[in-house]
Amino acid sequence: MKYLPLNAEIFIQNRKRFVERMDKNSIAVFNSNDELPTNGDGQHKFKQNSDLLWLTGIEQEDSMLVLFPGNSEAKYREVLVLVRPIELKEKWDGHRLRINEAKAISGIDTIVWLDTLDAVLQTWVHQAETIYLNSNENDRKANLVPVRDYRYAAAMKDRYPLHNYKRSAPILKDLRAVKSALEVEVLQKAMDITDGTFRRLLEFIKPGVMEYEIEAEIYHSFISQRATGMAYSSIIASGDRARTLHYVENNQECKEGELLLMDFGAEYGNYCADLTRTVPVSGKFGRRQKTVYNACLYLHHYAASILKPGISIVDYTEKVGDEATILFQKIGLLRKSDIKNEDPANRAYRKYLYHGISHHLGIDVHDLGTRTEPIKAGMVFTIEPGIYIEEEKMGVRIENNFWITKNGNKDLMKNIPITVEDIEALMKK
């Protein structure tokens, strides 16, 4: 790993929170993700199962976690399972974790090798009444491929058909949404790396630069600051391409007079930052560009003023939509007749703002959490309103990351330049 070791207390606390939610006399088993092929004998870079990562901090493939708080043998109440280091495999693929290293990362004292697990797991399962199994769930993802979690669940049910089975996902959806202060420290590091990178870009961007050159600068800056890499594929969209929400081709020239929308974030310690800024390629906003940018910034600040405990993301989005409706009239995008005749299911403002305003953020860029229930202190959200105007070939989006507090929120990206004046001043350098 490129990042410095994280505080194992993060994962110790996370496991404690999960165990407190388990039924009496139950056991929970978590698996690592599959190693996935590309073509030929190639493989994608391994990405750990987010739930296992959240509970252990272990990034290595073929790892497992067993939690059995009622185990009659105390030392087996939490067990980390690792693949046994093999000299030949290490010659090809590199170092594998030793017991002392895994203990230091996870805070788990008992390590069992994978090739010895079956014999001891059966004894533990026979003591339990309920088995929690992971299901790799995210509301934004369809599980069309039979991933390891589902294959393992099927095998367990075949082997132990008379046990009660429960999904760990509902518990994890609640717990992972609320970040501890220790988790936020790691998130803040990812955001600070992203901050430094954005400031570097403001001195690099000029007419004639290619979008992919900017993307390369981002990656270079991230890696040089110990980031794991990019939290997601960077969006570097100049001119009219900024209206494409997930534009990732990044292969065109940035031209004089255009606005450049950049959506990127560093991953540090497997926690993600998610920043969007829109800047003038020439270093100075035009009059209309400034009007639209400041309107988007106003909407950003308004959203931040109402994102606090007690409101649901659904209700919050509706309120931001109400404010956008008023704002879009002021800047000449909507007429009163557009609003009077709007379809409640597809409101008039949606022509110019056609995505959600906020999403949960954490180990996953689109992290686990609820949209319909009241938000809670400790959750971390993006706030990312945008204004996309087809007729003017313009797209503007502004995004920061916020930690929800008891009475409001804390902007974790408050130090990153955001105003027209600050952006222009830094680009002038």
H-run or E-run covering 146: none
Out of 116, 146, 175, pick the residue that ends a domain. 175
Residue-level pLDDT at 375:
97
- State whether 159 and 234 are in the same domain: no
Per the document, the length of the chain is: 429
Tokens of 395: 């797209």
For residue 70, give its domain range. 9-175
**Phi and psi dihedrals of 68, rounded to 5?**
-145, 80
Helices (H), ranges, 33-109: 50-56, 87-93, 99-106
The answer to the question of residue 114 being in a domain is yes
pLDDT band at 41 (very low <50, low <70, confident <90, very high): confident
Whether residue 125 is found in the same domain as residue 219: no
Confidence of residue 263 (pLDDT cuts 50, 70, 90): very high
Q: Does 31 fall in a domain?
A: yes
Confidence of residue 89 (pLDDT cuts 50, 70, 90): confident
User: Cα–Cα distance between 407 and 309 in angstroms, integer?
Assistant: 7
**Per-residue confidence band for 146, with pLDDT thresholds at 50, 70 and 90:** confident
Of 140, 175, 210, the last residue of a domain is 175
Indicate if 152 and 56 belong to the same structural domain.
Answer: yes
Long-range Cβ pairs for the range 380-384 (8 Å, 24+): 380/179, 380/184, 380/187, 380/404, 380/412, 381/307, 381/313, 381/409, 382/274, 382/358, 383/300, 383/303, 383/304, 383/307, 383/357, 383/358, 384/274, 384/276, 384/300, 384/355, 384/357, 384/358
**Structural domains counted in the chain:** 2
For the full predicted model, state whether its pTM sits above 0.85: yes
Residue 3 lies inside a defined structural domain of this protein: no
Residue 362 has what pLDDT? 98
- The domain boundary, picked from 144, 175, 206, lies at 175
CATH number at residue 403: 3.90.230.10
Residues 171 and 191 both lie in one domain: no
Which pLDDT does position 75 carry in this prediction? Answer: 97
Distances (CA, A) of 219 to 140, 213, 229, 265, 386: 26, 10, 7, 10, 25
Is the residue at 127 inside a domain?
yes
What is the per-residue pLDDT across 298-350, written as a single tens digit (0 to 9) for each?
999 999 999 999 999 999 999 999 999 999 999 999 999 999 999 999 999 99
- pLDDT value at 138 more than 90: no
